[in-house]
């Protein structure tokens, strides 16, 4: 068994060679132990983070394993009004397993790639189990190939879903190969936990709540990159007219849920409610409804890799405030592909689709 001959045929002159019969990474049947279904506690996260792939590639695989990758099925489960069907084949519900492994479109790319993997057709194939097998049986380089290809497949899916354009298979393989060419240092889970002060890749999130007597409470949040490019926005509405402090804490909780649903893991969140930021930082006793909401938020906090929560004055929160007001008209909405018209004057520079697709 020549496990160590697994490689990506990416030559030094930058050309990409199509598979001519390379070795396999996985056998359909083998003696290696596999983890039991759905037992995420036994998932080898340390191994996942140790693979030599660039951080955003590993982030994407991590999100896929945690089932927080924003597939249509995942967004629908989070209560968003989206079509469940796979944007690529139009035949089945788009779960993570479908989008990355079982979709006929994904399979065509896997087949054309230099890594040969076994993808069972079984309807209850669990993505985390499948990746567990890859991590257990594959060599590090082979696994990096698999990860890079998954990221390229997700990129291809997003271009298809948001731009209605079909990335050629060769281009998809070339993308994966280009990431493989970048050797990043091995990152341990510990490094990631400690890297929370290194927030250069965090997106910026503003949220706000708005009260309208006789109608209820509106929520809004907006996500931009550090240069101010629009990445996404969402609104929601609560039919109760909440006390203003409770409204801010509820908006915070809702906002964290939205971020988790769309798979954002590195954030700097900004609130104009000083009491909320102070309650978050102070921790301690939770004996009021307000504090119970803060505690809920702390529970949601675990889905983020890098997280900062800051206070800024109200003037800096105009776009989120506008969204919270618009919520009364539009209800529950999510904008991921383009900047809504009503925000054009409040957000600049304008939306750049490439940033949206490359969401992490
Ligand atoms: Zn499909």
**Range with the poorest average pLDDT among 189-193, 253-257, 331-335:** 189-193
Whole-number CA gyration radius for the chain: 22
Cβ atoms within 10 A of the Cβ of 52, count? 18
Look at residue 46 in the predicted model and tell me its pLDDT.
77
Give the contacts of 137 (CB within 8 A, at least 6 positions apart). Answer: 25, 26, 27, 30, 32
| Burial (Cβ within 10 Å: 0-12, 13-18, ≥19) of residue 283 | exposed
Q: Note whether 125 and 101 are within 8 A (CB).
A: yes
Between the CA of 13 and the centroid of ligand 1 the distance, in Å, is 35
Tell me which residue has tokens 């800096």.
316
pLDDT category at 1 given cuts 50, 70, 90 is: very low
* E strands in 255-344: 266-271, 306-311, 333-335
pLDDT category at 260 given cuts 50, 70, 90 is: confident
User: How big, in percent rounded to 5, are the helix, strand and coil portions of the chain?
Assistant: 45, 15, 40
Look at residue 114 in the predicted model and tell me its pLDDT.
85
Is 50 exceeded by the pLDDT of residue 2? no
The helix/strand/coil state of 328 is: helix
The pLDDT mean for the chain works out to 78
Between the CA of 97 and the centroid of ligand 1 the distance, in Å, is 10
Look at residue 327 in the predicted model and tell me its pLDDT.
94
Look at residue 185 in the predicted model and tell me its pLDDT.
42
Give the contacts of 143 (CB within 8 A, at least 6 positions apart). Answer: 25, 51, 134, 135
pLDDT category at 289 given cuts 50, 70, 90 is: confident
Alpha-carbon distances, residue 163 vs 124, 275, 347 (angstroms): 30, 42, 22
Is 60 exceeded by the pLDDT of residue 273? yes
- Orientation of helix 140-163 relative to helix 127-137, angle to 10°: 150
Question: What is the distance of C-alpha 26 from the center of its chain?
Answer: 26
What is the mean pLDDT of the segment spanning 243-260? 89
Is 70 exceeded by the pLDDT of residue 205? yes
Q: Which candidate, 340, 341, 337, 339, places its Cα nearest to that of 354?
A: 337
Q: Note whether 264 and 250 are within 8 A (CB).
A: no
Look at residue 7 in the predicted model and tell me its pLDDT.
36
Q: Which candidate, 150, 300, 269, 130, places its Cα nearest to that of 207?
A: 269
Look at residue 286 in the predicted model and tell me its pLDDT.
59
pLDDT category at 175 given cuts 50, 70, 90 is: confident
Higher pLDDT residue, 53 or 65? 65
Higher pLDDT residue, 360 or 309? 309
Between the CA of 100 and the centroid of ligand 1 the distance, in Å, is 9
pLDDT category at 198 given cuts 50, 70, 90 is: low
Between the CA of 343 and the centroid of ligand 1 the distance, in Å, is 33
pLDDT category at 178 given cuts 50, 70, 90 is: confident
pLDDT category at 284 given cuts 50, 70, 90 is: low
Tokens, residue 97: 């397993």
Separation CA 65–CA 121 (nearest Å): 18
Is 70 exceeded by the pLDDT of residue 171? yes
**Range with the poorest average pLDDT among 179-188, 227-236, 283-292, 334-343:** 179-188
pLDDT category at 287 given cuts 50, 70, 90 is: low
The helix/strand/coil state of 279 is: helix
What is the mean pLDDT of the segment spanning 267-291? 82
The helix/strand/coil state of 209 is: strand
Is 50 exceeded by the pLDDT of residue 92? yes
Between the CA of 67 and the centroid of ligand 1 the distance, in Å, is 17
Between the CA of 351 and the centroid of ligand 1 the distance, in Å, is 27
pLDDT category at 150 given cuts 50, 70, 90 is: very high
Sheet containing 306-311: give its strands across: 306-311, 266-271, 203-212, 216-224, 230-238, 333-335
Between the CA of 95 and the centroid of ligand 1 the distance, in Å, is 9
Look at residue 315 in the predicted model and tell me its pLDDT.
84
Between the CA of 11 and the centroid of ligand 1 the distance, in Å, is 32
- Orientation of helix 169-181 relative to helix 140-163, angle to 10°: 130
What is the mean pLDDT of the segment spanning 151-173? 91
Higher pLDDT residue, 314 or 348? 314
Highest mean pLDDT among 96-100, 306-310, 315-319: 96-100
Separation CA 319–CA 246 (nearest Å): 21
pLDDT category at 342 given cuts 50, 70, 90 is: confident
Is 60 exceeded by the pLDDT of residue 341? yes
Separation CA 207–CA 323 (nearest Å): 9
Paired with 267 in beta bridges are 203, 307
Dihedral of CA atoms 160, 143, 33, 28 in degrees, nearest 10, equals 60
Residues with CB under 5 A from ligand 1 (ion): 86, 88-89, 103
């Amino acid at each position: 068994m020549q496990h160590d001959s697994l490689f990506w045929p990416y030559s030094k002159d930058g050309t990409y060679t199509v598979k001519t019969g390379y070795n396999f990474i996985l056998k359909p049947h083998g003696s290696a132990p596999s983890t039991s279904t759905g037992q995420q506690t036994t998932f080898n996260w340390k191994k996942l983070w140790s693979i030599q792939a660039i951080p955003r590639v590993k982030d994407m695989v991590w999100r896929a394993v945690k089932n927080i990758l924003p597939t249509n099925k995942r967004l629908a489960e989070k209560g968003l009004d989206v079509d469940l069907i796979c944007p690529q084949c139009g035949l089945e519900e788009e779960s993570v397993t479908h989008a990355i492994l079982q979709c006929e479109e994904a399979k065509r790319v896997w087949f054309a790639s230099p890594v040969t993997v076994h993808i069972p057709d079984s309807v209850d194939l669990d993505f985390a189990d499948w990746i567990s097998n890859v991590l257990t049986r594959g060599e590090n380089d082979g696994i990096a190939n698999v990860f890079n290809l998954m990221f390229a497949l997700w990129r291809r899916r997003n271009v298809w879903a948001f731009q209605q354009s079909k990335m050629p298979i060769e281009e998809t393989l070339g993308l994966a190969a280009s990431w493989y060419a970048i050797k990043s240092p091995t990152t341990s889970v510990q490094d990631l936990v400690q890297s929370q002060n290194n927030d250069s890749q965090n997106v910026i999130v503003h949220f706000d709540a708005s009260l309208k007597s006789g109608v209820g409470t509106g929520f809004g949040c907006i996500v931009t990159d550090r240069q101010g490019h629009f990445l996404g926005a969402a609104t929601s509405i609560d039919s109760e007219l909440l006390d203003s402090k409770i409204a801010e804490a509820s908006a915070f909780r809702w906002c964290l849920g939205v971020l988790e649903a769309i798979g954002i893991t590195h954030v700097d969140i900004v609130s104009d409610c000083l009491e909320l930021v102070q309650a978050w930082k102070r921790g301690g006793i939770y004996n009021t409804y307000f504090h119970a909401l803060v505690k809920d938020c702390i529970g949601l906090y675990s889905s983020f890799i890098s997280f900062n929560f800051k206070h800024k004055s109200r003037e800096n929160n105009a776009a989120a405030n506008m969204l919270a007001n618009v919520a009364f008209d539009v209800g529950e909405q999510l904008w991921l592909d383009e900047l809504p018209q009503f925000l054009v004057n409040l957000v600049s520079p304008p939306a750049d689709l490439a940033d949206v697709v490359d969401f992490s």
